[in-house]
Amino acid sequence: MWGCGALLGARTRSRLWREVLVAWGRRWSAAAPYSASAEPSRVRALVYGHHGDPAKVVELKDLELAAVGGSDVHVRMLAAPINPSDINMIQGNYGLLPKLPAVGGNEGVGQVVAVGSSVTGVKPGDWVIPANAGLGTWRTEAVFSEEALIGVPSDIPLQSAATLSVNPCTAYRMLMDFEQLQPGDSVIQNASNSGVGQAVIQIAAALGLRTVNVVRDRPDIQKLTDRLKNLGAEHVLTEEELRKHEMKNFFKDMPQPRLALNCVGGKSSTELLRHLAPGGTMVTYGGMAKQPVIASVSQLIFKDLKLRGFWLSQWKKDHSPAQFKELILTLCSLISRGQLTAPACSEVPLQDYQRALEASMQPFVSSKQILTMC
């Protein structure tokens, strides 16, 4: 299976994937009925029966595939990433926990094999992604209700489709919903090499926003800096550089950020607050340091800084499915125009899931693990 460093370019790989999948889809759509008449078959899935260390509690098991009912869609999964929220969910410390035993994975992309008699939104051969978290995407096949899925264009890169429904959505909403930013305004963020961070850089660039991107120092810092700048980052700083006294002069050449995006907490979030413009907002969407966000009284009183939180699952609860689909299609347009790419990634066959899980929990890993099902 191709890795991100393979000789084939991303567009070439995507084209080959589409050719294979179109042929596969034709074969299945010709062989499989549109309603529930197929014999039950067995699928492979990554299942956990209790919470704990993902490398220990997740197992590759055979599951029986349910028959396709009138409003159901039979989907063959193509690729599904391993996100921090997936790990947290398995560990049992996430805001949304499925009933156990559960299949892991909150996002991914699949191809429709067959549909029930009352399904009108998708057809065999279409690509689909989950409409909500908790669907369980780490499996080879599944039967889902039509309302649990959103159709996406099949001419976008496979990795972009597989990583579309969580991180880019989070990045876009945080950039749009908390401050009325205009082209030329700046945004500061930590964990800038994360999936959300990379999406923020690209979407901000597409919107004409300038970004200050903070990362942890590491041996290959120049390589990471170059990669983020290639995505559109204007400035890349280490946590240590952000704390230096010289940073006072940094914002003489660019406007102070009115928006800060915090995925770390602790001292890192305190530094983001220190550099926010008066009246600015810091949005917290993660807590990698597992330390509280601390804001001084003077920042709240004299700078009138605002502290907010963001969770995509809550945003979906507060908005209609049609609004989420509109968000997805907006992001697909950015992808089609080359303004939004998938994060740096490594494709791992499903049977090698242990390696992928362990790699996803290592520090300083900038490559997202994507499970491939074919």
Among 48, 94, 172, 285, the active-site one is: 94
For tokens 């398995």, the residue is 90
Give the tokens for residue 195.
């999936």
Distance CA 170, CA 44 (A): 30
Whether the link from the prior residue into 292 is cis, omega within 30° of 0, is: no
What is the rounded end-to-end Cα distance, in angstroms, of the chain? 9
- The H-or-E segment that residue 367 falls in is none
The reply to whether 48 belongs to the active site is: no
Q: Cβ atoms within 10 A of the Cβ of 185, count? A: 20
Written as one letter, the residue type at 234 is E
- 362 burial type by CB count under 10 A (0-12 exposed, 13-18 middle, 19+ buried): exposed
Q: How far apart are CA 330 and CA 364, in angstroms?
A: 31
DSSP alpha helices (H): ranges in 138-183? Answer: 158-162, 167-177
Q: Which two tokens stand for residue 3?
A: 């890795």
Catalytic residue annotation: 94
